[in-house]
Amino acid sequence: MDQPSPFAIWYSAAHHQVDIKANAQSPTVNHESGDPDHQGVKQLTDTLEGAGYLADRGLATALFIALELGRPLLLEGEVGVGKTELAKALSEIFDCHLIRLQCYEGIDTHQALYEWDYARQMLHVRALSGDQVQDTDAVNRLFSADFLLERPLLEAVRAGNQCVLLIDEIDRADDEFEAFLLELLSDFQVTIPEVGTIQAESPPIVILTSNRTRELHDALKRRCLYHWIDYPTVDQEIAIVKVRSPDVPEMLARKVVTAVNHLRKRDLTKPPGIAETLDWVAALAVVGSTDLDAQSARDTLGSVIKDRDDLTDVFSDIDTVVSHA
Amino acid sequence: MHDGAPVVKLLVHFGRELRNEGLPIGSDEINNFCNAVAVLDPGDVDDLYWSGRATLIARRDHISIYDRVFRRFFLSERETESDEKSPPPSPTTTHAVLQIPDSEIEAKSGSDEEESALGLVASDAEIARDKSFAACTPEELVALRRIMARIRLTPPMRRSRRRCTDGARSRPDMRRMARETMRMQYEPPTLFWTGRKLRVRPLVFILDVSGSMSDYSRNLLQFAYSSKRAAARVEVFCFGTRLTRITTALDLSRLDDALADATQLVSDWDGGTQIGQSIREFVQHWGRRGVSRGAIVVICSDGHDRGDPSVLAEALEQLSRLSHRVVWMNPHKGDGKIFHPNTLGMTVATRYVDSVVSCHSLRSLEDFAARLPEFR
């Protein structure tokens, strides 16, 4: 392709000049310095920062599009990179209710969508006298809102845009469950046979997270926007530490973050996420150390490394870990 | 969008470009992409890049392809290195070694004549059933493989968290009782129960295809193929010096194609053995991600390991913690009930595996298939 693409011509005429080759990881974005040019994305990034959540350009853009288009956002990424935290931050900045559906194996409609209160229905039936049984109204009442137990998804549909719905760790649910979500994610409605279809007046903000222990079904992914959250760069992570634990001195934050970054490069069963970095900083504060040396690292290693094999491996080599810091 | 049509055209072209690279992109995705760009600034490459990534990509593996096409399409960058493409696994010269069993078509196209011919071969195979694969003639092997294709594996079941009506009666089924009470004109309810559903455990094969196993590995591969078609969730890996996942290759419906594809993927056919290293690779890249969780892991190898035994021990220890049962198939175990480990690898392995079974003949594989449901 010797000819420049039509877009390249069009683009070069536009007023932006972005250093295109700056970042090898993603071809266009310089994570560290790249300030979003788009007003909306920039505003969103700033607002999130105000709530203590530092989003990079990619995440902020994906989120902005999801919000603008009213689509669910599926977040995948390593453990502890802040997937769940994002939903919490959103509920904070929009000042609305967070409805969380934690997925687990065997979860079904009755735990996620709705359930009839069978015991009350039966008691009610027993209490009806012979004449009342003939009364259609009395019977219809058995399937009225009084007897319907709201579960998170129905609650979210009823709340509409007054809530943030977090469907957490969807990969833990068995694949049959994904099918239950399809109607909700595409049309923000749920169907209860006895009642009919309940549609959200305005779409709620929906965040789905997955740790990718299994690949999700394409039908589910098609209904969502997708973003893969990577580990942040060292500077970004230091910034996160400073936002989350403002009392920590810059030096210590830098040391801890560099040490954690070194640990991520090692071949560990469970590489530490940002959550672990924050835990480590907190643990160091608890034992009162202001510096990360071999001794204090050893004492608090349990807050970063949570696997026995990893622990023995790192323990014996703690000096290397600390010296990197 | 400000100047409408030309931009849309461009975006659609980009979408098609990605589709040509094999990404599953429908018009719905492209529509989303256009909408996303419309709410952002189409003149900003950053916005363009990230809006495409959020709307067109649904898998982490596709990101690198997306990056490449994006550079080429929007930034007019020439593709510098050809290996940047995720290359289709390069066919290796060794694949000719695989003796592909006779086409199944022959056996399937059922004229009477052919059926009787098959019967004849089958009776030959009957005699060879107890014979070690190593001692079989090529004709006998072909016949044995046809029979092997019919072995149906039933992996053991486990209780799932899902409930069903006719289970082990552990909890009253309120839903059904309420419904029944209303249906029966408000009679006092009959008791109904629910119990846990049963689910099939996954099965993971890790096959040794190194030189020392050459008499057996092709048969085992075929066995893995027929297992894959018989049981619900089967993963198949091959190793010599390094681990290769061949599950997707075995999905092909024709046996010959499947085996040919699988062999192409494996680059270290008939080479040396690094069992410890390979098992470790499995644990790191697959086991930890949950592939072997609750599964029956079947390792087929003779235990001739050129690597460090401590690596093998460590890897097996981790594997045994990540999976439900670990079964070691060793062709040298023979028919005897008692097995004395004859290689260093086996000596190490017996500490960590739940069972050592034989796999040298058709009979032993059939025995394994029969015993499989017991590993619960």
Residues B171 and B76 in one domain: no
- CB-CB: which of A76, A226, A267 is closest to B284? A267
Query: Is residue A207 domain-shared with residue A241, that is, in the same domain?
Result: no
In a domain, B155, yes or no: no
Residue A257 has pLDDT above 80, yes or no: yes
Q: What is the ipTM of this complex?
A: 0.70
Which residue among A28, A73, A215 places its CB closest to the CB of B49? A28
User: What is the tens place of the pLDDT at every residue in B7-31?
Assistant: 888 899 999 999 988 888 888 889 9
CA-to-CA distance for B126 and B363, rounded, in angstroms? 10
**Model confidence over B316-361: pLDDT tens digits?**
988 988 888 999 888 877 666 666 777 777 888 888 888 888 888 8
CA distance A42 to A59: 12
Domain membership flag for residue A84: yes
Last residue of a domain, one of B181, B199, B217: B199
- Cβ count near A130 (within 10 Å): 7
pLDDT digits (tens, 9 = 90+) for B246-261: 888 777 767 777 777 7
Question: Tell me, what DSSP letter sits at residue A120?
Answer: H
pLDDT one-digit tens code per residue, B171-181: 788 888 888 87
Residue B108 lies in a domain: no
* CB nearest A122 (choices: B40, B67, B178): B178
Kindly state whether residue B135 falls inside one of the protein's structural domains.
no
Q: Choosing among A17, A118, A147, A224, which should be mutated to test the B contact, i.e. which has the most B CBs within 10 A?
A: A118
Same domain as A72, residue A163: yes
Chain A: residue whose CA lies nearest to B176? A118
Determine the residue among A3, A5, A148, A211 to mutate to test chain B binding: the one whose Cβ has the most chain B Cβ atoms within 10 Å. Answer: A5
Q: Is the pLDDT of residue B290 over 90?
A: no
Same domain, B364 and B218: yes
Same domain (yes/no): B192, B212: no
Q: What percentage of chain A has pLDDT greater than the value 70?
A: 86
pLDDT at residue A210, as a whole number = 93
> Residue A105 in 3-state DSSP?
coil
pLDDT-derived band at B81 (thresholds 50, 70, 90) equals: very low
Per-residue pLDDT averaged across B292-315, rounded? 86
B195/B205 same-domain check:
no
pLDDT value at position A73?
Answer: 95
**Is pLDDT at A223 greater than 60 in this prediction?**
yes
- Whether residue A183 is contained in a domain is answered as yes
Cβ-defined contacts of B215-219 (< 8 Å, 24+) = B215/B133, B215/B134, B215/B331, B216/B133, B216/B134, B216/B300, B216/B331, B216/B359, B216/B360, B217/B300, B218/B98, B218/B99, B219/B133, B219/B141, B219/B144, B219/B145, B219/B148, B219/B365
Q: What domain range includes position B265?
A: 201-374
Are both A166 and A213 inside the same structural domain? Answer: yes
What is the model's pTM?
A: 0.72
Among residues A174, A203, A229, the one where a domain terminates is A229
Chain A residues touching B285 at Cβ < 8 A = none
Same domain (yes/no): A63, A170: yes
**What are the chain B neighbours of A105 within 8 Å (beta carbons)?**
160-162
Tally the domains of chain A: 2
Name the residue in chain B with its Cα closest to that of A308.
B318
Distance, in angstroms, between A143 CA and closest chain B CA? 11
User: Residue A8: pLDDT band by 50, 70, 90 thresholds?
Assistant: very low
Using DSSP, state whether B51 is helix, strand or coil.
helix
Same domain flag for B286 and B355: yes
Same domain, B288 and B367: yes
Contact A37 B162 (CB under 8 A): no
| Domain boundaries, position A161 | 16-113+151-229
Which one of B63, B161, B314 has the shortest CB-CB distance to A228? B63
Which residue is closest to A212 within chain B, CA to CA?
A: B289
Of B75, B66, B62, B51, the closest CA to residue A58 belongs to: B51
B45 and A222: CB-CB below 8 Å? no
Same domain assignment for residues A100 and A186? yes
- The answer to whether residue B97 sits within a structural domain is no
The residue type of B183 is R
The overall average pLDDT reported for chain A is: 82
Place A14 in a pLDDT band, splitting at 50, 70 and 90.
very low
Q: Is position A131 within any domain? A: no
On whether both B364 and B255 belong to a single domain, the answer is yes
pLDDT, chain B, mean: 75
Q: What is the average per-residue pLDDT within A245-272?
A: 90
Domain count, chain B: 3
- Residue B162's pLDDT band (boundaries 50, 70, 90)? confident
User: A223 and A239 share a domain?
Assistant: no
